Amino acid sequence: MTTAKRDTYTPETLLTVAVRVFNERGYDGTSMEHLSKAAGISKSSIYHHVAGKEELLRRAVSRALEGLFGILDEPGATRGRAIERVEYVTRRTVEVLIAELPYVTLLLRVRGNTKAERWAMERRREFDQRVAELLKAAVADGDLRSDVDIRLATRLLFGMVNSLVEWYRPQPGGDAEGEQLADTVVQLAFEGMRSDR
Amino acid sequence: MTTAKRDTYTPETLLTVAVRVFNERGYDGTSMEHLSKAAGISKSSIYHHVAGKEELLRRAVSRALEGLFGILDEPGATRGRAIERVEYVTRRTVEVLIAELPYVTLLLRVRGNTKAERWAMERRREFDQRVAELLKAAVADGDLRSDVDIRLATRLLFGMVNSLVEWYRPQPGGDAEGEQLADTVVQLAFEGMRSDR
DNA sequence: GTCTATACCGTGATAGAC
DNA sequence: GTCTATCACGGTATAGAC
């Protein structure tokens, strides 16, 4: 029942274009004029599909947040030893970041100037807290080093993971590329960069 | 000879205010009206001190870049074993990030919409490349693990370091706080988060 | 579903008085 | 050095024809 051909815009297809431009120029640096040029339709035609610029932002960050929160409900994140759940969530976060790259990129860059942005920031904080609790449990189990503040370690770990959006660009033919990258990130984060082990 | 009291603005003191607002609202999300309110003077008075909004941005990112490139000229970054130079640069980058927090924050967020931004991004890439060469040398020495792509490891390492600007807020009384934080970052990055060593 | 035309407001920047 | 007044422009968004 899904229409294959696509010669006119829907909110979904328009979102794809908008998110790309938002990430190139920044949300505030993007005007409806920029969007209309990129989409190949007039400014006013955009308003036929969405209520305005902010709705596009809201849809985009919602999608990113759905992906991230979805991880926390997966079996790997709810069962087993805490350290294993931590590594699982880290690995899956990398994979979701890559799978939903433009949406998560936008999420990680919102500044809180509009209602939609502030809502997104709040939900993101929730996610961070959920992850921080996991790490805390792993420390209690004695599987993560206890000589550094765990809140700090969580932030640094996810600072490393989130930095992916600043430079990672998916390869056209790279299929299982995400899993490989996730492996490397987990290795570096938990085993360190030194070779003398 | 330095005038202690400050009841009128100079380009320097104005920059302090502007950079704070830029970081709160984003550069593109900040209008001259926002700046004038924050500075307590009228829009047109701002133009008496600086040529415009972009000059404020240029001054800010210049300051950040000076701080970062300065590190590469320090003895610790030019002498000794490569691995030691890598750890030194990492540690010092954290310290400079904290010492020049608002300026580096702005630098790390530019999108390339204006000339000043594109120039800043180019110089930043130069810095990253210089650091990547250091890490490469440390791998050649056998001191850094060779089972992961070194360009990738460099990006993740500095992704972790740079993420500081997203959440670190200096404590009013915290003096040697920066050095402590730098120690932790270096430990986590090079030794990893696991406790089983 | 897309267009042209337009309303209306905030933007960066300037002129000139004090 | 700061102000008020003003400019030209681009911003989001709407009206209404096709």
The three-state DSSP-derived secondary structure of chain B is CCCCCCCCCCHHHHHHHHHHHHHHHCCCCCCHHHHHHHHCCCHHHHHHHCCCHHHHHHHHHHHHHHHHHHHHHCHHHHCCCHHHHHHHHHHHHHHHHHHCHHHHHHHHHCCCCCHHHHHHHHHHHHHHHHHHHHHHHHHHCCCECCCCCHHHHHHHHHHHHHCHHHHCCCCCCCCCHHHHHHHHHHHHHHHCCECCC
| Arithmetic mean of pLDDT, A34-62 | 98
Indicate whether A67 and A139 sit together in one domain.
Answer: yes
Q: Are A164 and B166 an interchain contact pair (Cβ–Cβ within 8 Å)?
A: no
Indicate whether A85 and A152 sit together in one domain.
Answer: yes
- pLDDT higher than 60, residue A1: no
Which of A29-43, A76-90, A162-176 shows the lowest per-residue confidence on average (mean pLDDT)? A162-176
Contact flag, residue A140 CB and nucleic strand D, below 7 A:
no
* DSSP class of A176: T
Contact flag, residue B103 CB and nucleic strand D, below 7 A:
no
How far is B63 from chain A, CA to nearest CA, in Å? 22
Other CB atoms within 10 Å distance of the CB of residue A125: 10
Residue B2 pLDDT: 52
Q: How far apart are the first and last CA of chain B?
A: 56
Residue B18, domain member (yes or no): no
Q: Return the residue of B nearest to A30 by Cα.
A: B28
Provide the pLDDT confidence category of residue B1 given band limits of 50, 70 and 90: very low
- pLDDT higher than 60, residue B3: no
Of A95, A137, A123, A114, the residue nearest A52 (C-alpha)? A114
- pLDDT higher than 90, residue B5: no
Nucleotides of D under 7 A from a protein CB: 1-5, 10-16
Residues 6+ apart with CB under 8 A from A51: none
Over the stretch B6-32, which tens digit does the pLDDT of each residue have?
A: 679 999 999 999 999 999 999 999 999
Residue A167, domain member (yes or no): yes
Q: What is the CA B35 to C1' C15 distance in angstroms?
A: 21
Q: Are B152 and A196 an interchain contact pair (Cβ–Cβ within 8 Å)?
A: no
Residue B128, domain member (yes or no): yes
Indicate whether A85 and A169 sit together in one domain.
Answer: yes
Residue A197 pLDDT: 58
| Arithmetic mean of pLDDT, B41-55 | 98
Contact flag, residue B25 CB and nucleic strand C, below 7 A:
no
Residue A75, domain member (yes or no): yes
Which of A176-185, B35-44, B62-71, B167-176 shows the lowest per-residue confidence on average (mean pLDDT)? B167-176
Pairs of residues, one from chain A and one from chain B, whose beta carbons lie less than 8 Å apart: 122
- pLDDT higher than 60, residue A22: yes
Contact flag, residue A17 CB and nucleic strand C, below 7 A:
no
Indicate whether A46 and A117 sit together in one domain.
Answer: no
Q: What is the CA B42 to C1' D4 distance in angstroms?
A: 10
- pLDDT higher than 60, residue A2: no
Among candidates B148, B195, B196 on the partner chain, residue whose Cβ is nearest the Cβ of A188:
B148
- pLDDT higher than 70, residue A118: yes
Contact flag, residue A30 CB and nucleic strand D, below 7 A:
yes
Q: CA-CA distance, B21 to B35, in Å (whole number)?
A: 7
Over the stretch A137-176, which tens digit does the pLDDT of each residue have?
A: 999 999 999 999 999 999 999 999 999 999 999 988 877 8
Indicate whether A70 and A116 sit together in one domain.
Answer: yes
| Arithmetic mean of pLDDT, B41-65 | 98
Which nucleotide is nearest, taking the CA of residue B55 and each C1'?
C12
Indicate whether A67 and A163 sit together in one domain.
Answer: yes
Indicate whether A42 and A80 sit together in one domain.
Answer: no
Q: What is the CA B64 to C1' D1 distance in angstroms?
A: 29
Residue B96, domain member (yes or no): yes
Residue B186 pLDDT: 98
Q: CA-CA distance, B141 to A193, in Å (whole number)?
A: 14
- Give me A44's structure tokens: 């006013």
| Arithmetic mean of pLDDT, A170-196 | 92
Query: Which residues form the domain of A128?
Result: 61-191
Indicate whether A65 and A125 sit together in one domain.
Answer: yes
- pLDDT higher than 70, residue A3: no
| Arithmetic mean of pLDDT, B91-120 | 97
| Arithmetic mean of pLDDT, A81-109 | 98
* DSSP class of A27: S
Q: What is the mean pLDDT of chain B?
A: 95
**Nearest residue for C16, CA–C1':** B44
Residue A196, domain member (yes or no): no
Q: Return the residue of B nearest to A192 by Cα.
A: B192
| Arithmetic mean of pLDDT, A59-64 | 98
| Arithmetic mean of pLDDT, A33-43 | 98
Residue A147, domain member (yes or no): yes
For A174, B85, B131, the CA distances from B80, given in Å and listed in that order, are 40, 7, 15
Indicate whether A112 and A45 sit together in one domain.
Answer: no
Give how many domains chain B has, as a whole number: 1
Q: What is the CA B52 to C1' D9 distance in angstroms?
A: 16
Indicate whether A41 and A85 sit together in one domain.
Answer: no
Residue A56, domain member (yes or no): no
Residue B74 pLDDT: 98
- pLDDT higher than 60, residue A5: no
| Arithmetic mean of pLDDT, A103-130 | 98
Q: Are B187 and A143 an interchain contact pair (Cβ–Cβ within 8 Å)?
A: no
What CATH number should be reported for the domain holding residue A27? 1.10.10.60
Residue A194 pLDDT: 96
HEC profile for A99-129?
Answer: HCHHHHHHHHHCCCCCHHHHHHHHHHHHHHH
| Arithmetic mean of pLDDT, A24-46 | 98
What CATH number should be reported for the domain holding residue A73? 1.10.357.10
| Arithmetic mean of pLDDT, B22-45 | 98
Q: Are A190 and B195 an interchain contact pair (Cβ–Cβ within 8 Å)?
A: no
Q: Return the residue of B nearest to A113 by Cα.
A: B25
Contact flag, residue A42 CB and nucleic strand C, below 7 A:
yes
